[in-house]
Amino acid sequence: MQKRRIGNRTVSAVGLGAMPLSTKDPRPSPEEAEAVVHAALDAGVTVIDTADAYSRDEAEFGHNEELVARALASYGSAGDVLVATKGGHTRRGAEWELDGSPAYLRRACEASLRRLGVEAIGLYQFHRPDPVTPWEESMGALRELVDDGLVQLAGISNADVGQIDAARAIVGDALVSVQNQFSPGWRSSAGELAHCAQHGLAFLPWSPFGGVSAAKELGSTAAEFAAVADELGVSVYQVTLAWHLAQADVVVPIPGASRAESITDSAAAADLQLTDDQLSRLNAA
């Protein structure tokens, strides 16, 4: 599989977004979820994205991290996998809330370390800006987690260009990635993507197919992508991920999957070549 860089790590060009394994309704069984992670590894995927808040509700906070940890442990040889998790979202029942305070981020990181069963988290990302906590304080906390050896690499999520630059100034070279929403129907993060490419930061587009519900209709809502898929004899999802990868060499899409067949298909996009004409049509769509 084509490779990309996240900080000092060489990783697969396509990752796995593990969120649907915990939040999709109906949820895959534990055996089905494990099969998805194993299929991703079999296909050469070496980036798995999770978060402490990926669960049905507050009562099972950390469900997705524990699931990923079990699946990796049962695979047998997954030492080169970069597990990217996140902290800063909280749950009140099934509702999503925010806490970017340094004290909370420290507790969240320590809890993620326990659930993942590691001494240092490969990539720890601040999940979303907290309007109550100054951005600079949250970034200072992220830097301290790196300095204290709890985190190897740091990232931010749902950030604008100004926040990216502020994070770069505070976190320094340990800041290696930005995870923002980006898809054929959601291109408002194009400026952040270009900014990441300019400064050598990995850009991890979340919901690259537009989200769980939108993904089902991608073949009809993204007509040009479907047309190119027909030309190449592949799925519209492979074309969509190949388009993501063609935006810049810092892009590492993390498509979600709840079936082994889905992540196997997505992983194949890493080696799909689009012609200049096809890429031009997709960019203009």
Give the torsion through C-alpha atoms of 228, 233, 238, 239, to 10 deg: -10
Q: Is residue 155 one of the residues assigned to a domain?
A: yes
Q: How far apart are CA 84 and CA 147, in angstroms?
A: 18
Q: What is the CA radius of gyration of the chain?
A: 18
The answer as to whether 259 is a domain residue is: yes
* Within a domain: 231: no
Q: Which of 200, 195, 199, 198 is nearest to 180 (CA)?
A: 195
Residue 146 lies in a domain: yes
Tokens standing for residue 108: 């969240």
From first to last of its 285 residues, what are the pLDDT tens digits of the chain?
A: 999 999 999 999 999 999 999 999 999 999 999 999 999 999 999 999 999 999 999 999 999 999 999 999 999 877 899 999 999 999 998 899 999 999 999 999 999 999 999 999 999 999 999 999 999 999 999 999 999 999 999 999 999 999 999 999 999 999 999 999 999 999 999 999 999 999 999 999 999 999 887 888 898 899 999 999 999 999 999 999 999 999 999 999 999 999 999 999 999 999 999 999 999 999 999
Residue 29 belongs to what domain range? 3-218+236-272
Kindly write down the DSSP assignment for every residue of 163-193, as one continuous string: HHHHHHHHHGGGEEEEE-B-BTTB-TTHHHH
Report if residue 226 sits inside a domain: no
Is residue 8 situated within a structural domain?
A: yes
How far apart (Å, rounded) are the C-alpha atoms in residues 158 and 89?
Answer: 12
Write the CATH number for 145: 3.20.20.100
Q: Which residues of 246-277 are buried (b: 16+ CB within 10 A; e: fewer)?
A: bbeebbbbbbbbbebebbbbbbbbbebebeee
First and final CA of the chain: distance in angstroms?
27
Looking only at the bridges linking them, the beta strands covering 9-12 and 3-6 are antiparallel
Assigned domain for 23 exists: yes
Q: Is the peptide bond before 26 cis (omega within 30 degrees of 0)?
A: yes
In angstroms, the Cα distances linking 75 to 14, 67, 107, 195, 217 are: 19, 12, 29, 37, 33
- The catalytic residue among 54, 104, 124, 237 is 54
Angle between helix axes 102-116 and 63-75 (nearest 10 degrees) is 30
Cβ burial of 102 (10 Å; 0-12, 13-18, 19+) is middle
Q: Is 54 a catalytic residue?
A: yes
The phi-psi region of residue 133 (left if phi > 0; otherwise alpha if psi is between -120 and 50; otherwise beta) is beta
- Whether residue 280 lies inside any domain: the answer is no
Domain count, the chain: 1
Residue type, 155: G
Report the amino acid identity of residue 168.
R
